[in-house]
Amino acid sequence: AQKITQTQPGMFVQEKEAVTLDCTYDTSDPSYGLFWYKQPSSGEMIFLIYQGSYDQQNATEGRYSLNFQKARKSANLVISASQLGDSAMYFCAMTLGHGNNRLAFGKGNQVVVIP
């Protein structure tokens, strides 16, 4: 069963605008972690942001913020002031399994920033 769902089709975003990438997840564990990673066309995987399920505040890292809505099981990534270098595939991921030792990724969202 799919644990992490990213269903948006590819997105075009105007430079300097904000973009929100949707991620919903499914778990019955009260304790889990949520991540976002970026994969540019060069192929490397880059960590962006982390949110723990017990964290009271939404995580922020520079231009990245995670809109965590626990009751809705939603962990959307917001990128503010998009830059051309933000063009990439973005993956949501979460810890799961016994002891939360496994990591599951969504299928990704493609973002293209246009000048």
* Chain positions contacting another protein, by CB under 8 A: 4, 6, 33, 35, 37, 43-45, 47, 50, 52, 91, 93, 95, 100-108
Among residues 98 and 115, whose Cβ is nearest to another protein?
98
Residues 6+ apart with CB under 8 A from 99: none
Phi-psi region of 73 (alpha: psi -120 to 50; beta: other; left: phi over 0): left
**Least gap, CB of 24 to another protein (angstroms):** 14
Residues 6+ apart with CB under 8 A from 11: 19, 21, 109, 110, 111, 112
Among residues 14 and 54, whose Cβ is nearest to another protein?
54
Among residues 25 and 35, whose Cβ is nearest to another protein?
35
